[in-house]
Structure 1
Amino acid sequence: MGEHQQRLTNYLAAYIDELVGNGVDEVVISPGSRSTPLALLFTHHPGVKTYINVDERSAAFFGLGIAKAKKKPVAILCTSGTAAANYYPAVIEARYAKVPLIVLTADRPHELREVGAPQAINQLDLYGKHVKWSVDMALPESSPGILQYAKASAARGVSLSISAPAGPVHFNFPIREPLIPALDEVTFLNSRREKRVLGGIRGLSPEMHDDLLGVLKEKQNGLIICGPGLAESAIDPIMEFAESHGFPIVADPLSQVRSGDHSKRNVMETYDAFLKIDEFKEAFQPDLIIRFGAMPVSKPLTLYLKGLTGVPYWVVSSGEEWQDPIAKATEFIYCDERLFCRDMKTDDEIRESGWLHQWITVNEMTRNILRTGDQPWNEGKAVKQLIEQLPDGASIFASNSMPIRDMDTFFFNNDRKISVHANRGANGIDGVVSTALGMSTGNTPMYLLIGDLAFFHDLNGLLAAKRYQLDITIVVMNNNGGGIFSFLPQASEGSYFEELFGTPMDLDFASAAAFYGAEYSLVKQESEFPSALQSTEGNRGIKIIEVLTNREENVAIHRNLWNFVSQEIAGKLKGNSL
């Protein structure tokens, strides 16, 4: 082994071994030349599972999905140049969705930077403020000090990626040729980490505790918001806290609060429908807001909160995050959610408030209308049928735009173990297929609910599913364009709407399904959908169900349903019959 090869091998092996020792045991690799030594050493490591994904954008979202599903940091590796730039959308999503990603980019050595060398771009701080930490690693050496530097950098990066709020970190590796490590001479340390970073959960000081508890005891009409990103371990404490104070909970579907075996007595899941009602918003004015998790999907909830004045609004978070998109928060309480709920429970009897009872009554009325309303076939009804047929233990990934909003409307409280996921960090439609496929490596059975534009946008993500025989059922709502734009004001601009916003593609996805070896069925009417779903049960691999819908009819049916809910609830409020 030559001197250069020895330095290259020892340095990168030390780095990788420390990554693995700190819990990074899955890596998504995109082929490339400059990243060769890292790719070979990762594949050679006995403690690492590798995935190969030729498209860097898809690869990054695939890694993001694995990290979301398994709640651990995952590495993604690519070569130099624009390959690294294709990671950017997933890095942004990881930053705002608080997902730990270890982003590894190979680079030219310093003498080949900014001199016109091929496949070389400025990769220093490539992802800007969208990563928690970025480091241009030293050139490979094998002196004891440099090996310790490599290990310390790996441990530091993993620690930063998982510390609250979690997020991506970026390692840029300049590497000189030749690029082949000595695999037959490398010695891994059986993933024995040399450096550990330990962190405890965060609590409140006695003074802060007493101050906040004093406020709580004075409030009778509190409202709790549960948004995306809640830890599963926080759900039961939040339920107990809400019941002890008699506060209703409005729970986003991504909070995982609407499903499971925990108590849901205080959980209001249909608020997106009844918060559209002016009479309700005027009559139901909270005197305290407490939010756990990120801001929910619901626009009616956002408008409701914006309309409140002088109401204390607490945002409880285990990390130092400034999540206040409507500029209404009055206190940011950086404390583990479980500790907060435990310490803020009172010794008094459970409060049975009229405030809570009225919320429960409105929620039950709305649920009955949404569940039993006799609407014509449309996307909302299809989503409702899909949810009803999901097997216990299933995970469903909802694309942005209309799918996640229909999930918000029609995912009712239930005792099944159904988890709901989405990319709500930056709310984009890029990489949705790849993220869901990444999640399928740790969550089964896996379902993806997606529109035709988002599906087309990431069709190449299906290659990973074919290559690794992943199991997923994909329901494509094909309304021939951007359905959500039909709900927005620009829909009235008839002369340019279809060209700029509707963007019909006139595609059917049977050919795409055949290209990737997927099972395929086409649904044109309501009676065909249940059997199409049933036909996928027990079949492994990619299953695609294309559901044809009409954009204009879908908008009209949704609005008619919301109007009916509004009329029923408003009538009860005016008659004081709640």
Structure 2
Amino acid sequence: MTWKRRKACRKTFCKTGITPPPLHINVCLPDPDPAWNPGSCDLYPAEPPEENGFRGSLAELARALRFKSRDGLVVMIGGLDPTEQAPARWLANELKAPVVADATSGLREELAHLALTDADALLREHPPAVLLRLGDVPVGRFWRDLEDIPATEVFSVTRTGFSGLARPSSVVTGDLEAILHALGDIDTVGDVNGLRAMNKRRKALMEELLITCPESEQAMVRSFSCFAADGDCIYLGNSMPVRYWNSFAQTSIPTENVRANRGANGIDGQISGFLGVSARCSRSWALVGDLTAMYDSNALALLPQLDRGTRVLGVINNGGGGIFRTLPGADGQPETMRKLLVQPHAHSFKAIAEQWGMRYLTIRTAEDFDQLDSLEENSQTLVELIPDREQTEQMRLRLANA
């Protein structure tokens, strides 16, 4: 993101009252030459570069939307800047194609009428002719599956310029609103391949399982999301909470300010990230895994340095790295290897909450969520979610075999 664009984004955040997100900068430097001697030199700020409109082939994208999409189009929306949410919402509603929107897009709930629920398996079986990605690289499994589906033509419209794929694809880089203006009229495509109709059965099964397995991890995430919807910001980390939220969180109430850290980012600094995002929010919620929370629990020492606000840190305590229990072939590994993968434990987070002066709540059943109705203003609360492993596995297997 250029300096001018960053400055414009901050102005937008100030107008809307939303706290600007943290800025992470990767600086690529060559290996130093030990023989080089710079001597004396003066350092001074350079002028910021001129803002480019966009880069990439708009003509190719326009042809794909007008002609190739007749064989099937899916829109995948990753993380968006707040300035990108309105044009992305407009485009999705104009196209009326099936949508897979990450929580970090801020549009997941507003585009629920176009959405595919838990779409990875369905899209693997019925890959579209054209996939249009908006924003950051999507977190869904199907995005990685595209590496092995060359028949699906991928177009990305992104401010970063990164394709997110190792195989060939088309990328248009720049301001989303400017790109849409340059594209001109957008024709409605619709659900050419009937994906939403096929998705209805899976969605119905998912809703049924959320009721019949109320103490599963998936159902607990649904319940937690209903309370978190009243927050100014939501933070998710690491992989499993992000995936669960995308698939199972509520869709009735828009949650525009959602941040996440996952995958290659690892579990480093996740609670620190939440505290940074929540620094100027009056009401903020986070959902992380147990190993993730343990790894960065000392970050809670920062709480007294932050502005007043209500903060809720939800921790899914499933006794270790639950995501690794579901890996293909995990059951066939020796016990010592399974322990290394999962890192099982029997620790409670009560002592951590007490250490940093937080209120502590335990949730084991659906009824226990009633405790979240009585949160005090400007309070700091650690909520330990302890799901039922059998219900979690039952729900996972039923959905996997649907």
Instruction: Using structure 2 for the length normalisation, give the TM-score.
Output: 0.81
Contact 1:375-1:381 within 8 A present in 2 as well = no
In structure 2, the partner of 1:368 is: 204
1:532 pairs with 2:378: no
Name the SS for the 2:238 alignment partner. Answer: coil
The one-letter amino acid paired with 1:442 is: R
In structure 2, the partner of 1:320 is: 161
Q: CA deviation at 1:253?
A: 1.8
One of 173, 178, 203 as aligned partner of 2:54? 203
Contact 1:440-1:471 within 8 A present in 2 as well = no
C-alpha spacing 1:378/1:441, structure 2 compared with 1 (3 Å): same
Contact 2:105-2:256 within 8 A present in 1 as well = no
Q: CA deviation at 1:454?
A: 0.8
- Counterparts of residues 404-443 of structure 1 (less than 5 Å): 404-424=242-262, 426-443=264-281
Q: CA deviation at 1:251?
A: 1.2
1:154-188, Cα deviation, whole Å (9 max, x unpaired)? xx5xxxxxxxxxxxxxxxxxxxxxxxxxxxxxxxx
Cα separation, 2, equivalents of 1:233 and 1:411? 24
Name the SS for the 1:257 alignment partner. Answer: coil
Q: CA deviation at 1:365?
A: 4.1
Contact 1:223-1:290 within 8 A present in 2 as well = yes
1:218 pairs with 2:67: yes
Percent identity at matched positions? 22
Q: CA deviation at 1:543?
A: 0.2
In structure 2, the partner of 1:515 is: 355
In structure 2, the partner of 1:481 is: 320
- Counterparts of residues 77-476 of structure 1 (less than 5 Å): 99-100=24-25, 130-132=26-28, 146=42, 149=43, 151-152=44-45, 156=46, 197=48, 199-203=50-54, 208-219=57-68, 220=70, 221-228=72-79, 230-260=80-110, 265-266=113-114, 268-272=115-119, 275-277=120-122, 281-282=124-125, 284-303=126-145, 305-324=146-165, 327-346=166-185, 350-351=187-188, 353-355=190-192, 358-373=194-209, 374-376=211-213, 377-424=215-262, 426-468=264-306, 471-476=310-315
The one-letter amino acid paired with 2:221 is: V
C-alpha spacing 1:547/1:320, structure 2 compared with 1 (3 Å): closer
Contact 1:465-1:471 within 8 A present in 2 as well = no
Cα separation, 1, equivalents of 2:367 and 2:74? 41
Cα separation, 2, equivalents of 1:503 and 1:240? 45
In structure 2, the partner of 1:37 is: none
Cα separation, 1, equivalents of 2:21 and 2:277? 10
1:97-149, Cα deviation, whole Å (9 max, x unpaired)? xx34xxxxxxxxxxxxxxxxxxxxxxxxxxxxx42469x9xxxxxxxx95xx3
Cα separation, 2, equivalents of 1:418 and 1:385? 18
Q: CA deviation at 1:69?
A: 4.8
Contact 1:447-1:475 within 8 A present in 2 as well = yes
1:242-291, Cα deviation, whole Å (9 max, x unpaired)? 3434432221222222135xx6543x14143xx324xx644x34222221
Cα separation, 1, equivalents of 2:239 and 2:189? 38
Name the SS for the 2:381 alignment partner. Answer: strand
The one-letter amino acid paired with 1:216 is: L
Contact 2:316-2:387 within 8 A present in 1 as well = yes
Q: CA deviation at 1:307?
A: 4.5
Contact 1:486-1:555 within 8 A present in 2 as well = no
Cα separation, 2, equivalents of 1:415 and 1:550? 27
Contact 1:375-1:557 within 8 A present in 2 as well = no
Cα separation, 1, equivalents of 2:353 and 2:81? 36
C-alpha spacing 1:491/1:399, structure 2 compared with 1 (3 Å): farther
In structure 2, the partner of 1:32 is: none
One of 340, 343, 346 as aligned partner of 1:506? 346
C-alpha spacing 1:388/1:503, structure 2 compared with 1 (3 Å): same
Contact 2:103-2:245 within 8 A present in 1 as well = yes
Larger radius of gyration: 1
- Counterparts of residues 22-33 of structure 1 (less than 5 Å): none
The one-letter amino acid paired with 1:524 is: R
In structure 2, the partner of 1:174 is: none
Instruction: Using structure 1 for the length normalisation, give the TM-score.
Output: 0.58
Q: CA deviation at 1:338?
A: 1.7
Cα separation, 1, equivalents of 2:380 and 2:149? 47
1:498-527, Cα deviation, whole Å (9 max, x unpaired)? 431222232112111111111112223332
Cα separation, 1, equivalents of 2:316 and 2:95? 42
Cα separation, 1, equivalents of 2:54 and 2:303? 43
Contact 2:226-2:250 within 8 A present in 1 as well = no
Cα separation, 2, equivalents of 1:329 and 1:522? 48
Cα separation, 2, equivalents of 1:432 and 1:340? 34
Cα separation, 2, equivalents of 1:467 and 1:243? 43
Name the SS for the 2:254 alignment partner. Answer: coil
Cα separation, 2, equivalents of 1:211 and 1:482? 44
Cα separation, 1, equivalents of 2:318 and 2:391? 10
The one-letter amino acid paired with 2:177 is: R
Contact 2:238-2:262 within 8 A present in 1 as well = yes
Contact 1:473-1:542 within 8 A present in 2 as well = yes
Q: CA deviation at 1:382?
A: 0.6
